[in-house]
A = this chain, B = another copy of it.
């Protein structure tokens, strides 16, 4: 349909303009030449304001997330790949197989078209690698000085095909084992290091990754997993406090069991942060009956995204629903969620 829309977009040196969000010819061209070209599927090509989908039988899982991370590109990922991974993970934490994504862009007037294309290409690559299609989208352009270049909302739809699964944050019971799929704080410290221009002997790389394949292996081996959640904003501490509150239990962690990379620990010390409060984008917490813990751990360790998995503690009866930690020195401390915001715009 080239001819009806004028000369092609100048992806090398052009910029997004207000007209690209106005619903007219410029927007149609941006959609055709940038979004359709990258995501390349029959649903988008149909050009309707909604995608019509067929889904296998089962319960559905629906999740939404908006990404405002700064800087938009960081070691190990960018806002585009993260927008795909993050929402896939929220869908997958129900035990669902993610199928479809929507993408809503808010773009700042003046953003180089090349930057937008790089982001969209990164989203498309991440979606393709995960076997998920971006089936509909929306584009808004706002004035200069707003939205810091680009915000992206993704919403994900998946299907829970196994009727036996009942994975929910309110299902932890005293005695259950708490497992973690790998090292803590990599994403948050990768973004902070980039933002603060810190350099280390061993560079810190975001763990941003789609976890649905790991989850599929886990629920196949242990269908009675009680809880799955990815410890993103607020880190492991926030996630465990949420889960303790939902399930009305306490939790007791073993500090020495927590996998943390030395370079992440070092960067945290430098910035006065606790790795337990730092965001992850490719890790999950699983809670399961104690008798299934070893089986689950072995499945997790056998997956490329779970090599550093560990049993990190257990749920305990506690009317106060405290998350506590047995420290390396033999004491106990309360692991609280942070009251403030030490790491803004991390996702």
Whether the Cβ atoms of B68 and A60 lie closer than 8 Å is no
Look across to chain B and name the residue whose beta carbon is closest to the beta carbon of A139: B66
Known contacts A102-B62, A147-B146, A341 near B18 by CB under 8 Å: yes
Asked if A48 is at the interface (CB within 8 A of a chain B CB), the reply is: yes
Known contacts A60-B54, A60-B55, A25 near B103 by CB under 8 Å: no
Known contacts A64-B138, A339-B24, A50 near B106 by CB under 8 Å: no
| A153-161, A198-206, A251-259, A324-332 - the one binding chain B | A153-161
- Cα(A61)–Cα(B317), bound, Å: 44
Residue among B59, B66, B245 making CB contact with A153, cutoff 8 Å: B66
Distance (Å) between the CB of A93 and the closest chain B CB?
A: 6
- Cα(A148)–Cα(B146), bound, Å: 7
Restricting to A68-110, which residues have a CB under 8 Å from any CB of B?
Answer: 68, 90-91, 93-94, 96, 100, 102-106
Residue among B147, B242, B245 making CB contact with A147, cutoff 8 Å: B147
Q: Mark A304-347, 1 if CB is under 8 A from B, else 0.
A: 00000000000000000100000000000000011111111100
| A111-119, A179-187, A231-239, A260-268 - the one binding chain B | A231-239
Whether the Cβ atoms of B66 and A61 lie closer than 8 Å is no
Asked if A47 is at the interface (CB within 8 A of a chain B CB), the reply is: yes
Look across to chain B and name the residue whose beta carbon is closest to the beta carbon of A93: B49
- Cα(A62)–Cα(B46), bound, Å: 13
Q: Mark A118-162, 1 if CB is under 8 A from B, else 0.
A: 000000000000000001111011110111100101011100100
- Cα(A168)–Cα(B65), bound, Å: 28
Distance (Å) between the CB of A79 and the closest chain B CB?
A: 12
Look across to chain B and name the residue whose beta carbon is closest to the beta carbon of A48: B169
- Per DSSP, are chain A's interface residues mostly helix, strand or loop, or mixed? mixed
Find chain B residues with CB under 8 A from A343 CB.
22
Find chain B residues with CB under 8 A from A94 CB.
48, 50, 52
Distance (Å) between the CB of A285 and the closest chain B CB?
A: 12
Asked if A271 is at the interface (CB within 8 A of a chain B CB), the reply is: no
Whether the Cβ atoms of B234 and A22 lie closer than 8 Å is yes
Find chain B residues with CB under 8 A from A279 CB.
23
Look across to chain B and name the residue whose beta carbon is closest to the beta carbon of A344: B18
Find chain B residues with CB under 8 A from A51 CB.
61-63
**Subset of 8 A-B contacts with CB under 8 Å:** A23-B234, A49-B63, A49-B229, A50-B91, A51-B61, A52-B61, A52-B96, A53-B59
